[in-house]
Structure 1
Amino acid sequence: MTEIKKKKRVDGQMTGLAGEFFVAGELLKRNFQTSITFGNAKSIDIFAHSEESGQTYAVQVKSLRTKNYFPIRRSAIGENIVYVFVILNKPDKEVDYFIVLGSTLSSATGDLAKYLDDPKFPGINWRSLEPYRNNWQVFV
């Protein structure tokens, strides 16, 4: 009898932390002071501060290992939060970043909003985020 091996499930916490570290690294490259909250602030993953502008940003990171569907519901979106959707990809491939203002997400229509209000599994398909790819200029 042949034994079927189950594919090992990836730890979601590791995926989330990896995404947060990648985003923090990108913000540091752009001269932002960053602080990862490590779950101490329920809806904020990173605080990013610009010495140049004096502006501080609250950042929520949503991470996936492969191109898929980001679980998020419209009612949980904060207007004053910057959302960074991260697709980690395989180790030899670049990370994909999609940066969207909370105000844009909360009032979204069309493809971006297609599943945000789904009662069973609310979220956003990664393809709907394509216009926001590498949208780092949100952080001024």
Structure 2
Amino acid sequence: MPKAISRNKTARGNSAQFFVAGELCRRGHSAVVTLGNTPNTDILCSNEEGTRFVHVQVKTYVPGNRTVTVGIKAEKDFGKNFIWVLAGIPAADSNQPFEYYIVPSALVAENVAESHRLWLADAERLQKSRKDSTVRVIHIPPSTSYNGWSIDAFKNRWDLIDALLANPV
């Protein structure tokens, strides 16, 4: 019997990419999972005409968890056509709903960098030892990041991707 998906991060991450790509296709876009063959892009998504593109980076968490782990690259703004999708993928035997937060790269970069800087600085105030690393986190609502940032307003904001792929009027 295969390992339960809730205990297998690789399987959960892979499934999240396909669930996100499926939602993008359901919305009328073309979405291709890159299978790790494209730097910083899990899904390449285009409009029907193939004239506009969005790069999607998917990060997975278990619904109910307070954070999703991202790397140091989350501090870099890759441009307006780069979107982070934080995907809460429940275990197969769970009744919990899927959760998606669709967040523009610029906001992720700004807030992840600031929150990490504040987290490191607060160690001195608390007289704790914190070692810097390449690990960064984004807090899942109702939690907020160290700088007070909440991604709650980005829940199911597929319209942000729709707008980037829309043809100009």
The one-character-per-residue Cα deviations of 1:55-104 (angstroms, maximum 9, x if unpaired) are 11000000112332111234355334100000112433321000001012
| Letter of the structure 2 residue corresponding to residue 105 of structure 1 | V
- Does structure 2 retain, via aligned residues, the 8 Å contact 1:39–1:45? yes
Pick from 128, 146, 160: which aligns with 1:138? 160
Q: Distance in 2 between matches of 1:53 and 1:27?
A: 14
1:95 maps onto 2:98 in alignment: yes
Partner of 1:123 in structure 2?
137
| Corresponding letter in the other structure for 2:30 | Q
Q: Letter of the aligned partner of 2:137 in structure 1? A: G
Same amino acid, percent of matched pairs: 23
- 1:28 matched residue in structure 2: 25
Structure with the higher helix share, 1 or 2: 2
Amino acid aligned to 1:84: V
Normalising by structure 1, report the TM-score.
Answer: 0.79
Judge which range, 62-71 or 94-103, deviates more.
Answer: 62-71
Is contact 1:116-1:124 (8 Å) kept?
A: no
Residue type at the aligned position of 1:35: V
In structure 2, which of residues 1, 13, 34 is the aligned counterpart of residue 16 of structure 1? 13
* Other structure's SS at 1:108 match: helix
Q: Secondary structure of the equivalent of 2:11?
A: helix
**1:58–1:81 contact (8 Å) kept in structure 2:** yes
Counterpart code for 1:34 = A
Q: Following the alignment from structure 2 to structure 1, what is the Cα–Cα distance between the partners of residues 12 and 55?
A: 20
Consecutive unaligned residues in structure 2, runs of 5 or more: 120-131, 142-149, 164-169
| Preserved CA contact (<8 Å) 1:113 1:124 | no
* Equivalent position of 1:83 in the other structure: 84
CA distance in 2, matches of 1:9, 1:52: 38
Change (3 A) 1:30 1:114: same
Number of residues of Structure 1 aligned to a counterpart in Structure 2: 131
Gap regions ≥5 residues in structure 1: 1-7
Matched with 1:108 is: 111
Counterpart of 1:70?
68
User: TM-score, normalized by length of structure 2?
Assistant: 0.67
